[in-house]
């Protein structure tokens, strides 16, 4: 603990002398602090392992860290600029449920990218209550298969099978 305190005092002294004007006539009061001003207890440091601190032991960053930039919420951007369209509808065999694939088409996001957004909605036929079951953010112009595709309902209409590719 005392070694850390000593290192901190030395670092502050070094920083203060580095920040003073070049034509200063008197040294900073912190520049006169020496390592011997704070004496460690004999039990904490043995003479064989004691090393004198040097000014080059601590690295000081020379660059100021850049401020973080705000990144847009891509899904909100896509849904704000495009109207949803129903791509496919899958009614259950008992007629009580309906699954819909809803697509928000590609929108430019960022400097060079475009994105689309898809939702898989479960809709109760009796009152029209909707629930989003799954969503997928799609980068337009990418390679490979993407997008929701319904496969089939189970015979008892309790399960709907679909793929995301």
Q: What confidence tens digit (pLDDT) does each residue in 25-34 have?
A: 555 444 444 4
End-to-end Cα distance, the chain: 58
All structural domains of the chain with their residue ranges: 1-61, 74-163
Enumerate residues 6+ apart whose C-beta is below 8 A from 71. none
Q: Tell me, yes or no, if the pTM score tops 0.75.
A: no
Q: What confidence tens digit (pLDDT) does each residue in 51-109 have?
A: 555 554 555 555 555 655 555 688 888 888 889 999 999 999 999 999 999 999 988 88
Alpha-carbon gap, residue 128 to 136, rounded angstroms: 23
User: How much is the pLDDT for 76?
Assistant: 87
Long-range pairs of 132-135 with CB within 8 A, sequence gap ≥ 24: 133/99, 134/162, 134/164, 135/75
Bridge partners of 152, per DSSP, are 161
Q: What confidence tens digit (pLDDT) does each residue in 7-66 have?
A: 556 655 555 555 444 444 555 444 444 444 445 555 544 455 555 555 545 555 555 556
User: How much is the pLDDT for 92?
Assistant: 94
Query: Minimal CA–CA distance to 37: which of 17, 58, 9, 1?
Result: 9
CB atoms within 10 A of CB 118: 20
């Amino acid at each position: 603990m005392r070694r850390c305190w000593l290192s901190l005092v030395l670092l502050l002294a070094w920083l203060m002398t580095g920040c003073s004007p070049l034509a200063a006539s008197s040294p900073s009061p912190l520049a006169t602090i020496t390592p011997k001003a704070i004496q460690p207890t004999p039990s904490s440091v043995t003479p064989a392992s004691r090393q004198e601190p040097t000014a080059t032991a601590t690295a000081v960053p020379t660059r100021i860290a850049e401020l973080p930039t705000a990144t847009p919420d891509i899904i909100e951007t896509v849904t704000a600029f495009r109207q949803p369209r129903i791509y496919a509808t899958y009614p259950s065999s008992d007629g009580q449920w309906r699954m819909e694939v809803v697509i928000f088409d590609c929108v430019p996001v960022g400097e060079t990218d475009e994105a689309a957004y898809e939702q898989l909605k479960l809709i109760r036929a009796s009152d029209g209550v909707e629930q989003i079951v799954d969503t997928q953010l799609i980068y337009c112009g990418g390679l490979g298969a993407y997008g929701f595709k319904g496969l089939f309902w189970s015979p008892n209409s309790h399960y709907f099978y679909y793929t995301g590719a």
